[in-house]
Amino acid sequence: MDNLIARVAKTANLSPEVARKAVALLADFIEREAPEEAAKDLFEKAPELHAIVASSAPTGGEGMSYGLKGLMGIAAGAMGGGGLMALGGELMGLGLSMDQIQAAWKEVFAYAREVAGDQTVGEIAASIPGLSQFT
């Protein structure tokens, strides 16, 4: 777990604390948005991703119930503002630049490829519009 955080911190030039929060957002996004089987495969082979998500303080939507947060995400997506764009906003809220966001994604995908393989990463990247630019 700390290895991935250190890799992202170094590659994206982030503090370990911010890198942990960024990885938690990215992993949570993958778990929510990727095809169920591909996400399951990745998280089974990289259980530390669940640990990173679980160990991070709540980010977007604090104080909202899970259902309300999910409905807001669906509404934002229907208006064209959800998905990857919303995630980018959350990452920028942590202080990341576009270059740092790209570096963090690329490092998370490199790690995912090491543990879960090209097929799983390819399926995840292909299923979410705009995500393949980071693989």
- Residue where the block lists tokens 């250190």: 6
3-state secondary structure of 1: coil
So what's the pLDDT on residue 69? Answer: 42
Compute the distance between CA of residue 28 and CA of residue 42 in angstroms, rounded to an integer: 12
Structure token pair of residue 24: 């938690």
Structure token pair of residue 108: 């998370």
Compute the distance between CA of residue 22 and CA of residue 105 in angstroms, rounded to an integer: 9
Q: Which residues of the chain have pLDDT under 50?
A: 59-81
